[in-house]
Structure formats: structure tokens, C-alpha cells
Structure 1
Amino acid sequence: MSPRDFSVVVCVYTEERWEDILEAVASVRAQSLPAREILLVVDHNPALLRRLTGEYGDRHEVRVLANAGPRGLSAGRNTGIAAARGAIVAFLDDDAVAGPDWLRHLDKGYDDPRVMAVGGRTLPSWASGRRPLWFPEEFDWVVGCTYLGLPPGRVRVRNVLGGNASFRRTAFDAAGGFATGIGRDGDKRPLGGEETELCIRLARALPHAVLIVDDRAVIRHKVPRARESFGYFRTRTYAEGLSKALVARSVGADKGLESERRYTTRVLPAGVLRGARDFLLGRPGGAGRAGAVVAGVLTAAAGYAVGSVRVRRDGASFDVPAIARADAAVEEVR
């Protein structure tokens, strides 16, 4: 089948990532399957909006937009979706670099008309040059990457991971956009889960929909030194527990925690045993990895417990916007 046209959405929010943003855009412009357009959505930062407009204002394939919704990643993505002209909308993190065949491999997944979303493989690019010895691969999701325990190859999944994902434009027509009230919103706490909630909602709206991951669609996600610390590890796993409580509230615990049950009962115990074995064999970091797995489980469980209490006490407010096709839904700066 002939390639489909892609709109690639990159949500940005801080000038501190200026060089990262330029590198992310350059990696999309260098794709072996060219994107129809790149949409840079700026999250309530007028200075960054002006600077990016000056950088890309004369390049028609790059469009700079202001987030038309409330502060946060979900509203930024929804702004990009509303403005997108392509049949497929792909998402790339602003601190990631796509491999040259990223879009080509995503595109191949859509040869099956049942497929509504295709994700890829995200590899960590550590600022220190290598993985911290104590950091278990089972927890690479902490730094926004594909983690040990996911099946390899091209496989069917419950949800794709938002920093390396694509959807048919019609998926948003059926299920609406990313829910605001879940995920990162400018707060210091690194929440997530918005793509999980959307994918579960999509499967309910279109029961025959298929969602897949193709690990040949590779991007590299930059991990700054601050996120290589055990302190960030604990903060992120706790925040993930809070996020899962919100997702479970939105879509139900059965679906909201379906994949997590297998992960906690099979993948993580194997990780503890692997770390303990490495320690006994005198391999560096084995005890630290085993301990980090246990700590990660405990802090995520604590976050989920606290989040569940808050949801029952205060309720949860989610807004699932319908995505209009009109460009009038966003402000484009030229």
C-alpha cells in the first residue's frame, strides 16, 4: 500500500530545551518517509512561541501553534490534533530524536485497516553516558522509555506510550481527545497515564480496533542527569501510582490496571531475582537493581493508595474534548 501522510506533533513548554527542540524537529525533517507537516505546540510560553516563530516562520512544513486549551500536555496534544491535516497524527517528545525510518515503520502498521494506533520503541540516551548501575531496565518507563517486560517485535497492546505514538485521525473522531485532568499540567509532580486512558477509551468506542507496537520504529529519549537519581526514581514511581488511580477512576480498574497486574506479578519478581543473582555472582549493581525494583513497587503502591483515597474523597474531574477538524480551534502564529 502507498504511504500515508503524517502530521507530527511536538509539544514544547520551556526555552531550557531549545537545542533539544531543534534536534527533535531536525530528526523529523530527515525521515526517509517525509512528514506532511510538523506541528510545534507551545504550552503557554509567549517568549518561546515568538522565538520558535522566528526560527521556523518561513518553513511551510513546520507550523508553530499556541496551546488553545488549559496548561498541560493533554491540551497541547489536542491542539495539535485539531490543526493536523494528515491522515495519521504522530507524537514525538520535545527531548527525543527519531530514527531515520521512524515514520516509515509506523506507517507499515496501518496497512491493516483495523489498526487505529501504532507505537514504537523508545531507548534511553543517558546524560552521563551510560545507565546507572542501580537502575533496573524494568523501570525504564520512569524516564519515558520502553521497559523490560514488553514483548518484542510487532505486537498487539492495550496502549501505546505517548512520547512515541501515532493514531489515525479518525480515532480521535470516534473517541475524542486526550483527557485533561490526567497527565502533566505544568505541576512539578511528573504525572502521566493520559495515553493509557485514551487508548482504553478508544477500544471501547471502536471494539474491533487494534493497537500495536512495532519496535523497529525507534526514537531516543534524552535522560538528563537530574532524572538519573534515585530521588527522581521515587518521585516518578509515586506519581505513577497517583496517575493510575485517576485512570482507574476514569475507565475502571479492570481495564485501567490490566497490564499492570501482569507486570507486578511476573516481570518485577523476575527483576528482583535477576538482581539478586547478579549480586551473588559479584556483578556490579545487582543488589541496587533488586532494591530499586522493590522500592519502585512500594512507592507506586503508596501513590495508588493515596490517589484512590483522594479520588473517593474529592472526586475526579476529567474533560474529554471532541476534536474539531477546523483550524479555527487553534491559534497559529506566522
Structure 2
Amino acid sequence: MTDRQTRDFSVVICVYTEDRWEDILAAVASVRHQSRPALETLLVVDHNPALLERLGGEYKKCAADGEVRVLANAGPRGLSAGRNTGIAAARGAYVAFLDDDAVAERDWLRHFHEGYADPRVMAVGGRTEPAWASGRRPAWFPEEFDWVVGCTYRGLPPGRVRVRNVLGGNASFRRTAFDAAGGFATGIGRDGDRRPLGCEETELCIRLSRALPDAVLLIDDRAVIHHRVPPAREHFGYFRTRTYAEGLSKALVARSVGADKGLESERRYTTRVLPAGVVRGLRDAVLGRADGAGRAGAIVTGVAVAAAGYLLGTLRARRGGTAFEIAPIAATAEAGMRADEPDETQRDGREPDRSRPGGADPGADKSAGDEEEAA
């Protein structure tokens, strides 16, 4: 078997701003240096013509053999449509997703691939470690809430375990999974730095398990990426905003797939993991360790704020205030443009029509607190 034949992963990196230029280059470099080489890296640019042109020039030589391809988001603005564009263009048997501000360790794809030895496995996720801009974790920031910054949180079992859903910034799927379940729902998912509605991975994975009842979804903690946490996200204000947004998101997902499935993992998380974190923080405070009380307080605050968001989100959903769409992946690249060509919006620089589902405000950092314990 030739080296080219062993390349069966298409890696999708969705990008939206030139402010992350160095991060984007680092993310692509980490994919190009994998011990198990990728077939291709697909950079999907979210309605930013300047970034599209700049990346096209940067990777012009790589585009000749298809190693790195720069694509325009073929759908409405936002992360979900960007991912769907990448899926539609992917030529690999597996589609992996990497955040634009993260770097993958050298064996990332190799560990993903090992999980697919079982033909029932339809998705494999990995472990995401925070790379704090300040050089270390804020003393008050509880590890149980690392999902707030798009990272793996304390409380997950180690090793390779079966889960309800993977996290989209460090995940892979069989390409056929999207044929069975469709793509990511637009109308939820990150849209730049706007007020978030996330949990698009949760909704997709639950939908996938319903479409394929025998499907197995895994997280392998050896498939590691390092996710940059900028200074603004090290502050308590961001912590509150993100937990509130998570509550809004969970309400939308629960209404879509039912509260039993939509909140299955969250119940275990709030009744087991978080109480243990509060006890640990209070114990540290009694022992005089740094900011134990602060961590305990942050956990309590995070739960309360997320609950408030969930209640408000439930009311909004009942009133029909938020909706999302699920389109077949085959239609994504056909909806008015080719996946590798800029649309009219990107040619003339005008804003996309935000009256369309997925073109409105909400967008967030990844779903959070979503993985469930080993089955």
C-alpha cells in the first residue's frame, strides 16, 4: 500500500478572522506533520473575502496536489455551515475537525484511526488541553468547567471510552455518518465572537445515534490537541457569559431531541462531578490552599447561571423564537455555489442575509459538559 493510499483523513479547519492568522498557520502545520498523514486539509473561510484571498495565496503551492485547499463557506454564516462545506468537499473516508486556534499533537490522527477498527464506530473524539495565554490556569478557574474555554473538563473517565457525543473542535467522523444523519444544524453553533448558542455537536451526535442505533461514539484521551485560551477568556465575566449561553443552547437541544437525551449527560455531571468539585474547593480553602473557596464559588455560580439560561431558553423555544435547519450534506455545496468558489457575498464584501436560519446572531465556543461517562 502506498503512502497516498494510507491517507484517509480529511481535516476541516473553519476560520473567520485574520486576527488568528498565526494560529491558523500553526493549526495547519500541526496537521501536515502528523505521524499518520492526512489526505488533505480543508480551510473553510466564513464570509471573509480578505482572509479567503490571503489564505489562497499562502497555500497556493499546496493546493496544486490538494494537500491544503482553501474553500469559501457555501452556506449561511457560522461554524455549522462552515463544517458542512468542509464535509461536502471532503475526499477522505474520515472527516476530522480541528479548531483554528488549536494545534494537534503528532499522533492525533493515528489515535483517531485506531478507534475505527470496530466498524460500528462512527465518531472518535479526543482530549483538548487548555493553553492559557497567561501561562497558567487562573487560580479561581475550576477544572470541572474547562468546557467553558473549549477544553476537556475534569470528571471524564480516562482512556478510550464510549460517549453520547464528541466535541467538534477535536473530533472525527466516518464520512458515511453524515450520509445517514445529515450535517451540523445551522442556527446553532458559533458565529465569530457573537453571543453563543452552541451544542451543535451534541445535537448531531444524538441525531446520528437515532439514525444508526448500533453506532458507537468514542473519546480517546490519547488524541490530544492544545487549545489557545486568550486573555479575555481568563476572566470571570467571560465565564458567566459562556455558562449562561450554554444554558440557552441546552434548552434548544432538549426541545429538538427531547430532554431525556438532551440532558442525559448533564444530569450525571451536575449530580456527581460538580458536587465533588465544590467539596474539593472547600477542603482546599480549609487547608489554606490558594483560592479553593474561589473555585467552589465559581462552580456554584456556573450552575446557577447556566440554569437561568436554560429556563430562558426553554421559554424562547416554546414561543418559537429560535429555530435551526438540517440540510443533507449533498445539498450544501449545491446551494447556489461550488464549495471551492466564493459566493457573491464574498466577491463584493457584503454581509450575508441574516434572515436565513443560521445567519442570525448566535454562535459559541463548542458545546460543553457534554460527554458522558463510559457505558
Provide the TM-score with structure 2 as the length reference: 0.87
Contact 2:7–2:39 at 8 Å: present in 1 too?
no
Amino acid at match of 2:316: R
Contact 1:83–1:326 at 8 Å: present in 2 too?
no
Q: 1:326 to 1:93 in 2, by over 3 A?
A: closer
Amino acid at match of 2:36: L
Deviations for 1:61-114, whole angstroms, at most 9, x for unmatched residues?
000000000000000000000000000000000000000000000000000000
- Selected match of 1:56 from 54, 59, 66: 59
Residue 290 of structure 1 is matched in structure 2 by 296
- Selected match of 2:99 from 90, 93, 99: 93
* CA apart distance, 1:330: 3.4
User: Which blocks of at least 5 consecutive residues in structure 1 are unaligned?
Assistant: none
Residue 367 of structure 2 is matched in structure 1 by none
Indicate yes or no: 2:42 matched with 1:39. yes
- Selected match of 2:179 from 173, 179, 184: 173
Cα distance between partner residues in 1 of 2:267 and 2:310: 13
Contact 1:83–1:325 at 8 Å: present in 2 too?
no
- Selected match of 2:169 from 157, 163, 168: 163
Residue 340 of structure 2 is matched in structure 1 by 332
Contact 1:182–1:191 at 8 Å: present in 2 too?
yes
Indicate yes or no: 2:53 matched with 1:15. no
Residue 313 of structure 1 is matched in structure 2 by 319
Residue 130 of structure 2 is matched in structure 1 by 124
- Selected match of 1:112 from 118, 123, 138: 118
Contact 2:89–2:339 at 8 Å: present in 1 too?
no
Amino acid at match of 1:91: F
SS in 1 for 2:307: helix
Contact 2:75–2:82 at 8 Å: present in 1 too?
yes
**Runs (4+) of structure 1 moved beyond 2 Å?**
1-4, 325-331
SS in 2 for 1:255: helix
* CA apart distance, 1:325: 8.5
Indicate yes or no: 2:101 matched with 1:81. no
Contact 2:84–2:332 at 8 Å: present in 1 too?
no
CA RMSD of aligned residues (A): 1.6
- Selected match of 2:273 from 267, 279, 282: 267
Residue 146 of structure 1 is matched in structure 2 by 152
Q: How does 1:221-260 map to 2 (within 5 A)?
A: 221-260=227-266
Q: 1:229 to 1:187 in 2, by over 3 A?
A: closer
Deviations for 1:115-136, whole angstroms, at most 9, x for unmatched residues?
0000000000000000000000
**RCO higher in 1 or 2 (8 Å CA, sep ≥ 6)?**
2
Amino acid at match of 1:290: A
Amino acid at match of 1:97: V
Amino acid at match of 1:190: P
Deviations for 1:191-219, whole angstroms, at most 9, x for unmatched residues?
31000000000000000000000000000
Contact 1:125–1:223 at 8 Å: present in 2 too?
yes
Deviations for 1:29-48, whole angstroms, at most 9, x for unmatched residues?
00000000000000000000
Cα distance between partner residues in 2 of 1:326 and 1:178: 11
Indicate yes or no: 2:147 matched with 1:134. no
Q: What is the number of residues matched between the two proteins?
A: 334
Cα distance between partner residues in 1 of 2:256 and 2:333: 29
* CA apart distance, 1:170: 0.3
User: Which blocks of at least 5 consecutive residues in structure 2 are unaligned?
Assistant: 343-375
Provide the TM-score with structure 1 as the length reference: 0.97
Cα distance between partner residues in 2 of 1:37 and 1:306: 42
- Selected match of 1:29 from 19, 28, 32: 32
Amino acid at match of 1:222: R
Cα distance between partner residues in 1 of 2:78 and 2:35: 31
Residue 279 of structure 1 is matched in structure 2 by 285
Cα distance between partner residues in 2 of 1:101 and 1:62: 19
Amino acid at match of 1:10: I
Cα distance between partner residues in 2 of 1:226 and 1:186: 15
